[in-house]
Amino acid sequence: MTAETLQFQAETDQLLSLMIHSVYSEKDVFLRELISNASDALDKLRLEAYQDKDLEADASDLHIELRPDPEAHTLTIADNGIGMGRDEVVDLIGTLAKSGTGELKRKLEAAKQAKEQGASAELIGQFGIGFYSAFMVADHVVLVTRKAGEDTATRWESEGHGTYTVTDLAGDQVPAQHGTAITLHLRAADGDDSLHDYASEHVLRTVVRRYSDFIAFPIRLVLPAAKDGETTEADDAAPSGPETLNSMQALWARPKDEVSAEEYADFYRHTSHAFDEPLETIAVRAEGTFEYQALLFIPTMPPFDMFYRNTKPGPALYVKRVFIMDHCEALLPPYLRFITGVVDAQDLSLNVSREILQNDRHLVMIRKRLVKRVLQTITAMRENEREKYDTFWTAFGAVLKEGLLDDQDNRETLLKASSFASTFSADGTTGLAEYVSRMPEAQDVIYYAAGESRRQLESSPHLEAFAAKGFEVLLLTDQVDELWTTGAEFDGKRFVSVAKGEADLGGDAPEAEGFESLTAWLAKTLEDKVSGVRLTSRLTSSPACLVGGEFDLSPQLEQMYRASGQEVPRTRRTLELNPDNALVLALREKVGDGEPADDLQDAAEILYGTAVLAEGGAVDDPAEFAAVLARQLARNLG
């Protein structure tokens, strides 16, 4: 037996401390790293045995074992994979030792001080730290490995302080089976530091099921034999012999036609912690330049926190079936935050942070393809399964339309996938293509009205002439509608608000002759409330309405900005008058007859206030408006 003690080339104490605190916030992930390494070793043996028929190796029962020993306070992670020779141990296990430099340490310290977790994780990821994560939970690590086809073995051990020892094993010291066994002499549990008792079978079950449940090889829990009169942590009903902890059932890796709807539903409820059925299941498999698999679900019911500021969107991310994080925001944009499921990427490193993921080129391409696939699914649902689509749109339409504001690359697709209430149907919705197909030949824009509810919009004076002349108007009732419609187009046709600009509905413009005195007097009387007064053909029964400029903020949008803490100046809109209305005609006569100013002042205020109320708004001073109305009623009744 030949032993050699080697010196770390970097200040390993400080380097490992920086690594642990910079990369991993949860100590549990050490087991994920070591199991992932073991799974890779099993994959390599299976491939090697397939390529080399003369290789003396048993690949009939490839597995990983966890052997806790509560009495010795140790945990051994063992596999019967490809194993390593002495040179490989030094090259692979000693990667950090060989590559560690003062420059690396300096960069890690700088990144930590700047709180650039992504930067430090990126640096660490270059130095093969998966094995060294064991020092987060252990103060002494022993590795024994025998390469398949060889009759010698190697032992590596270190306390992570300055040196490590490599020993050649021979004869009776060589393990009977090829593979690698890593024994961790565990630190004492510390709840304040998220350091659990990893010699506890309960803890091991929990960690494996969280991080490694879908590893393709069985992960077996092997408990020490109980001494006479002693019992283990498991109850008497527990099965004897090794217990397989992971399901090994990566549902996303199976062809869709081999998975039942019930299996998908169970998996959906498991991953999303929901109780409803998935409305739609989206299975994706990509091969080629980079490989990934995804299993996504559109829920039937919206999650309760869909509009919460601190909601955690995004599907779970796996790398080669190894769990990385629960909610990977980099995989889908915020307007698809209702999508749940998993994405399993083959070409990512396990040592990633959320910051690195935002800029990883593989993730960027996966995100683009997943967004495209989800939108294709929604569009197909709209075209072929209208009842299911209506359920989707009622639950998630308001969120999906956020993409019309944020995702310029997919805006056209989003518009095609969207539906809107319309004056064409009393209770249904319509698509934009259907709207355009019904447009009169002379119409070259898409008309819409935005407000709090359909009922409010349908009774708005702004719609009177549009309804009378048969122009269809979209009725938009979500807050985001006020934002995305600005400058939007579909099929070359602009979106135009019926409450902005001058209405061009064909026919002759109203004749202003005879109303000059009235419009001038109203403009002066209401100058602190309106930008001007004019006649309109927009109204058929109401006396007046308020209209903004084409690029003005609507009252609803102003209110939304103020509610979010952004103060915006109040927009003075134009007061439009219906020249055929009896009230307007009476006011014209009063102004022409020179009636007392006080009487007309109140009439002007009432005309303005009723225009505000008719569109669903609120007057600035309800008490003052009530007083004005009472005075006018008293005059009329006196």
Residues whose CB falls within 8 Å of the CB of residue 130, separated by 6 or more in sequence, listed in order: 33, 34, 36, 37, 350, 351
Sheet holding 489-490, edge to edge: 429-430, 420-422, 474-476, 446-450, 493-497, 489-490
* Same domain flag for 490 and 533: no
Could you tell me which residue, 42 or 567, shows the higher pLDDT?
Answer: 42
Q: SS3 for 449?
A: strand
Give the integer Cα–Cα distance in Å for 19 and 13.
10
Give the integer Cα–Cα distance in Å for 35 and 24.
16
Q: Does residue 606 fall inside a structural domain?
A: yes
* Same domain flag for 447 and 566: no
Which residues are paired to 497 by β-bridges?
Answer: 448
pLDDT band for 186, please (50, 70, 90 cuts).
very high
Q: Does residue 82 fall inside a structural domain?
A: yes
Which CATH number does the domain housing residue 470 bear?
A: 3.40.50.11260
| Amino acid making up residue 272 | S
Q: Does residue 394 fall inside a structural domain?
A: no
Query: By the 8 A CB rule, do 591 and 518 touch?
Result: yes
Q: Are strands 74-79 and 64-69 parallel, antiparallel or unpaired?
A: antiparallel
pLDDT tens digits, 613-636: 998 888 889 999 999 899 888 888
* Same domain flag for 488 and 520: no
* Same domain flag for 90 and 226: yes
The label of the residue with tokens 């299996």 reads 263
Q: Which of 497, 478, 632 is nearest to 573 (CA)?
A: 497
Cα angle: 92, vertex 95, 96; to 5 degrees? 145
Q: Does residue 403 fall inside a structural domain?
A: no
- Residue 229, pLDDT score: 59
- Residue 161, pLDDT score: 76
**Domains in the chain, number:** 4
pLDDT band for 442, please (50, 70, 90 cuts).
confident
Which residues are paired to 574 by β-bridges?
Answer: 532, 547
Q: Does residue 412 fall inside a structural domain?
A: no
pLDDT band for 126, please (50, 70, 90 cuts).
very low
Q: Does residue 509 fall inside a structural domain?
A: no
Query: By the 8 A CB rule, do 608 and 625 touch?
Result: no
The torsion angle over the Cα atoms of residues 612, 618, 620 and 623, rounded to 10 degrees, is 110
- Residue 115, pLDDT score: 44
- Residue 195, pLDDT score: 86
pLDDT band for 147, please (50, 70, 90 cuts).
very high
Residue environment code for 45-58, b if the CB has 16+ CB neighbours within 10 A, otherwise e: bbebbeeeeeeebe
* Domain termination site, one of 194, 217, 245: 245
* Same domain flag for 161 and 309: no
* Same domain flag for 144 and 25: yes
The 3-class SS string of 465-501 reads HHHHCCCCCEEECCCCHHHHCCCCEECCEEEEECCEC
Query: By the 8 A CB rule, do 7 and 96 touch?
Result: no
* Same domain flag for 492 and 520: no
What is the DSSP secondary structure assignment for residue 419, as one 8-state letter? -
Handedness of CA 183, 188, 191, 193 (dihedral sign): negative
pLDDT at residue 569 greater than cutoff 60: yes
Q: Does residue 398 fall inside a structural domain?
A: no
* Same domain flag for 578 and 451: no
Sheet holding 573-577, edge to edge: 530-535, 573-577, 544-547
Could you tell me which residue, 589 or 67, shows the higher pLDDT?
Answer: 67
- Residue 117, pLDDT score: 41
* Domain termination site, one of 341, 362, 384: 384
Which CATH number does the domain housing residue 338 bear?
A: 3.30.230.80
- Residue 361, pLDDT score: 81
pLDDT tens digits, 238-265: 456 799 999 888 889 888 888 899 889 8
Distances (CA, A) of 336 to 399, 400, 410: 7, 6, 13
Query: By the 8 A CB rule, do 189 and 197 touch?
Result: yes
Distances (CA, A) of 632 to 163, 164, 518, 596, 617: 96, 96, 19, 13, 22
Q: Which of 612, 465, 615, 485 is nearest to 538 (CA)?
A: 465
- Claim: this prediction has a pTM higher than 0.75: no
The 3-class SS string of 47-111 reads HHHHHCCCCCCCCCCCCEEEEEECCCCEEEEEECCCCCCHHHHHHHHCHHHHHCCHHHHHHHHHH
Which CATH number does the domain housing residue 530 bear?
A: 1.20.120.790
pLDDT at residue 99 greater than cutoff 70: no
- Residue 352, pLDDT score: 60
pLDDT band for 358, please (50, 70, 90 cuts).
low
pLDDT at residue 473 greater than cutoff 90: yes
Q: Determine the structural domain holding residue 439 and report its residue range.
A: 419-498
* Same domain flag for 196 and 282: no
Instruction: Kindly calculate the radius of gyration of the chain based on its CA atoms and give it in whole angstroms.
Output: 36
pLDDT at residue 103 greater than cutoff 50: no
Query: By the 8 A CB rule, do 204 and 198 touch?
Result: yes
User: Which tokens sit at 7?
Assistant: 């010196």
* Domain termination site, one of 245, 276, 301: 245
Give the integer Cα–Cα distance in Å for 251 and 531.
63
Q: Does residue 252 fall inside a structural domain?
A: no
* Consecutive H or E run containing 5: strand 2-7
* Same domain flag for 485 and 594: no
* Same domain flag for 459 and 345: no
Query: By the 8 A CB rule, do 474 and 485 touch?
Result: no
pLDDT at residue 418 greater than cutoff 70: yes
pLDDT at residue 424 greater than cutoff 60: yes
- Residue 544, pLDDT score: 94
The string of DSSP letters for 183-203 reads EEEEPPPBGGGTB--TT-HHH
Q: How many C-beta neighbours within 10 Å does residue 82 have?
A: 26
Give the integer Cα–Cα distance in Å for 432 and 18.
56
Query: Residues 380-397: what's their mean pLDDT?
Result: 95
- Residues of the chain with pLDDT > 90, as a percent, come to 46
pLDDT at residue 465 greater than cutoff 80: yes
* Same domain flag for 537 and 631: yes
Give the integer Cα–Cα distance in Å for 325 and 25.
12
- Residue 491, pLDDT score: 93
